[in-house]
């Protein structure tokens, strides 16, 4: 006799309280997301020195990988440009020449092209963050092996900082601070 509606849902149980699952999923509870709990991040740092052209080629290469492989935000690239000591002193000595009086406007316009043609002494570092989820470990390892062996990257000095390294928090903070 099936007078109770709970008997239809749980026909083997005598009591409805005994047959309820211990963990009930409701609309207001947060379900565990297995693949989103841990993201294995690694940061590759390439020091190109003063070779701005190779750094730009590296940026174009990473952009092509992002579009071709549909990686989206899994590979992010940022530039870190640092002025060397000699260039900051040269900029300090050039700044009074740019503040010349109005009568010497021809001289200041002549010094401007010289400044633009001067070789850049800024050191360029390229930081690449690989942000793959825990179940994509093989893909992460393939990218860690592939990127340093490609053409624009193999000429630069490379450093890999993994999530488990001691230097990772400060490197991650450096990556997040760069715009």
Question: What is the distance between the alpha carbons of residues 152 and 140, in angstroms, rounded to a whole number?
Answer: 20
Residue 94, pLDDT above cutoff 80:
no
Between the alpha carbon of residue 48 and those of residues 2, 59, 79, 124, 160, the distances in Å are: 78, 12, 11, 5, 15
Q: pLDDT-derived band of residue 126, with 50, 70 and 90 as boundaries?
A: very high
Q: pLDDT-derived band of residue 47, with 50, 70 and 90 as boundaries?
A: very high
- 140-167 pLDDT, tens digit per residue, is 999 999 999 999 999 999 999 998 899 9
Listed range (1-15, 44-58, 85-99, 159-173) with the worst mean pLDDT: 85-99
**Domain ranges within the chain, ordered by starting residue:** 62-83+119-177
Question: What is the distance between the alpha carbons of residues 136 and 114, in angstroms, rounded to a whole number?
Answer: 51
Q: What's the pTM value of the predicted model, to 2 decimals?
A: 0.61
Axis crossing angle, helix 105-117 with helix 85-98, rounded to the nearest 10: 160
């Amino acid at each position: 006799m099936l007078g109770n509606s709970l008997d239809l849902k749980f026909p083997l149980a005598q009591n409805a309280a005994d047959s309820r699952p211990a963990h009930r999923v409701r609309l207001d509870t947060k379900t565990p997301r297995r693949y989103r709990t841990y993201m294995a991040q690694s940061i590759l740092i390439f020091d190109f020195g003063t070779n701005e052209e190779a750094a730009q080629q590296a940026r174009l290469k990473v952009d092509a990988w992002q579009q071709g492989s549909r990686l989206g935000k899994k590979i992010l690239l940022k530039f870190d440009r640092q002025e060397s000591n000699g260039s900051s002193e040269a900029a300090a000595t050039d700044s009074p020449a740019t503040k010349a009086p109005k009568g010497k406007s021809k001289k200041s316009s002549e010094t401007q092209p010289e400044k633009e043609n001067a070789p850049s002494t800024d050191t360029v570092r390229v930081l690449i963050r690989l942000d793959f989820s825990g179940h994509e470990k093989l893909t992460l390892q393939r990218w860690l092996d592939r990127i340093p062996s490609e053409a624009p990257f193999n000429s630069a000095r490379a450093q890999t900082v993994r999530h488990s390294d001691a230097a990772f928090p400060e490197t991650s903070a450096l990556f997040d601070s760069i715009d």
